[in-house]
Amino acid sequence: MSSSLCRNIVIATDGSENSLRAISYGIEIAKLSGATVHALHVVDTSAIISEFWTAGKELVHELIINDGKKIMFETKKIIEGSGVEVREVLLEGHPGDEIIDYAENNNIDLIVMGTLGATGIERFLMGSVAEKVVRYSKVPVMVVRNRNSENLTV
């Protein structure tokens, strides 16, 4: 059974354990709808873009890009193993902005992503990529909560 409701799904991953849960959900939706999965990882380069940081900037950039490539390799392997068509997307920038821009400019029907389930001051201090995507995306977003966040209150 396939549906034209979802033809293209972004699964945004950061390599965390909860991202693996989001990947599983995204795969199941893709199987049901016959969608292509766009496995997306954004290398957060916002900290190294600063003009005040000069020493070691290239080395740090190379290290975080290599980490992003490893995350994408593992993600692609999982999705391909499920029999779902997958496209790898590795971007640089602020994760929330890049996920939203990619989804809105590539005919994406659904964004699937995990959240760390941070609450209170933790969420305020760290910010939340998932929260930003939910607030500002014109594309529907499915957020897969962390198992440990089930008993947390906001």
In a domain, 90, yes or no: yes
Kindly report, residue by residue over 39-64, the tens digit of the pLDDT: 999 999 876 766 666 677 888 889 99
Matching residue, tokens 């692609």: 76
Predicted TM-score (pTM) of this structure: 0.85
In a domain, 46, yes or no: yes
Element (H, E) at 107: none
Domain hosting 63: range is 8-149
In a domain, 25, yes or no: yes
- Assign residue 43 the CATH number of its domain: 3.40.50.620
In a domain, 47, yes or no: yes
pLDDT at 53: 62
d(CA 120, CA 104): 30
In a domain, 3, yes or no: no
Mode of pairing for the β-strands spanning 141-144 and 110-114 = parallel
In a domain, 1, yes or no: no
> Per the structure block, which two tokens stand in for 89?
């997307």
In a domain, 130, yes or no: yes
Closest CA to 130 of 9, 19, 5, 4: 19
What is the pLDDT confidence band of residue 119, given thresholds at 50, 70 and 90? low
Kindly report, residue by residue over 71-110, the tens digit of the pLDDT: 999 999 999 999 999 999 999 999 999 999 999 999 999 9
In a domain, 38, yes or no: yes
Name, in order, each residue with C-beta under 8 angstroms of 153's C-beta and a sequence gap of 6 or more.
Answer: 119
Provide the domain count of the chain.
Answer: 1
**Longest pairwise C-alpha distance within the chain:** 55
